[in-house]
C-alpha cells in the first residue's frame, strides 16, 4: 500500500482538536483528523487512518501540520491534493501539498522538529478580522522583559511547571531550541509574535510559556521569576495558560524533506 504525506492548513475554531473523538466524526465533537479521514474514505474504500505530527488542542490552528496515510492504490499527487480539497469543503481544512513517501516514513515519529507561532495583539480595540485567530490584551507589553524571561527556558529542562496536569508524556524533560519574540506594529497597537522550536512539546507547554511571559511583559512578574518557576517543577508555579486561538503549528522538520522537489 503506497504511503502519502500531506501538509495541512486548518482553522481550529470549529474543531474539538486534531484527534478524532471516540464517538467518530458523526458525533458532536468534530476533529481535523476525522474530517481528513472522511475525505480520504470518499477516495479509498479502505477508509484510511490519518496520523498527524502533532495533536493540536481545540481552537488551535495550523499552517504546516504534517500527516500521513496508507492508500490502496497509487495517486498522482496533484490529483490527490485536488480531490481531497474538494471532499473537505466547506470545512476550514486544506491540503496544501501531497507527496509519495517511503513505507517507513511516520509523520509523528520521524519528525525531528516542530515549530509553533503564538500571536498576541496588544490593542484596546476588539479584534474583528482576526477574531478567533489571536489573543488580544488591552495593554502594552515589554518586549525586552519577555525576551529576558524566555531566555531561562532555552535548553534542556524539567518542564513540569509548564505542562498540563493531564499530559501523558512519559517524561517532563524537554529541550527547547528557540523562543524568538518579535514586535510587529499594527494599526491601533502592536502584535507580539512568539516563535518556538523544539523536537517535541508537552501538552499545553507552548500556551503555558506564552501565558507566563505575558505576565512578564505586563509587569506582573520580573523576568527572573520565570527561571524560579521552572526550577520549582510545580504546576502551581506557572503563570496563566494562554488561550488556544492564538496558537499555530507552523511546520514540522524531518531528516529528509518529504515535500522537496
Tally Cβ neighbours within 10 Å of residue 186.
12
Q: Which three cell numbers stand for residue 164?
A: 498540563
32 and 56 Cβ atoms separated by less than 8 Å: yes
The catalytically annotated residue of 57, 70, 130, 142 is 57
Q: How far apart are CA 238 and CA 225, in angstroms?
A: 10
Ramachandran class of 211: left when φ > 0, alpha when ψ lies in -120 to 50, beta otherwise: alpha
For residues 122 and 140, is the Cβ–Cβ distance under 8 A? yes
Rounded Cα gap, residues 21 and 32, in angstroms:
10
Q: Please enumerate in sequence order all residues whose Cβ is within 8 A of that of 166, keeping only pairs 6 or more positions apart, or say none.
A: 203
Parallel/antiparallel/unpaired status of strands 173-186 and 61-70:
unpaired
Contact 209, 162 (CB under 8 A): yes
Residue 104: active-site member: no
In this structure, how many other beta carbons lie within 10 angstroms of the beta carbon of residue 1? 13
Residues catalogued as catalytic: 57
Amino acid at each position: 500500500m503506497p504511503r502519502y504525506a500531506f501538509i495541512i492548513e486548518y482553522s481550529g475554531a470549529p474543531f474539538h482538536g486534531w484527534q478524532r473523538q471516540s464517538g467518530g466524526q458523526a458525533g458532536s465533537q468534530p476533529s481535523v483528523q476525522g474530517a481528513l479521514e472522511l475525505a480520504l474514505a470518499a477516495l479509498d474504500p479502505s477508509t484510511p487512518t490519518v496520523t498527524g505530527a502533532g495533536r493540536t488542542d481545540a481552537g488551535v490552528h495550523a499552517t504546516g501540520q504534517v500527516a500521513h496515510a496508507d492508500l490502496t492504490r497509487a495517486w498522482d499527487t496533484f490529483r490527490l491534493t485536488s480531490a481531497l480539497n474538494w471532499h473537505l469543503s466547506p470545512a476550514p481544512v486544506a491540503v496544501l501539498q501531497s507527496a509519495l513517501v517511503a513505507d517507513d516514513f511516520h509523520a509523528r515519529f520521524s519528525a525531528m522538529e516542530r515549530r509553533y507561532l503564538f500571536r498576541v495583539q496588544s490593542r484596546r480595540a476588539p479584534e474583528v478580522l482576526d477574531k478567533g485567530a489571536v489573543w488580544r490584551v488591552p495593554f502594552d507589553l515589554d518586549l525586552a522583559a519577555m525576551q529576558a524571561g524566555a531566555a531561562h527556558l532555552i535548553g534542556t529542562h524539567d518542564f513540569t511547571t509548564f505542562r498540563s496536569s493531564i499530559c501523558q508524556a512519559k517524561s517532563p524533560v524537554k529541550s527547547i531550541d528557540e523562543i524568538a519574540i518579535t514586535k510587529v506594529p499594527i494599526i491601533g497597537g502592536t502584535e507580539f509574535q512568539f516563535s518556538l522550536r523544539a523536537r517535541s512539546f508537552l501538552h499545553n507547554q507552548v500556551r503555558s510559556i506564552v501565558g507566563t511571559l505575558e505576565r512578564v511583559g505586563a509587569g506582573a512578574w520580573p523576568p527572573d521569576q520565570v527561571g524560579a518557576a521552572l526550577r520549582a517543577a510545580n504546576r502551581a508555579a506557572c503563570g496563566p495558560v494562554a488561550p488556544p486561538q492564538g496558537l499555530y503549528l507552523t511546520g514540522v522538520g524531518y531528516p529528509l524533506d518529504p515535500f522537496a522537489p
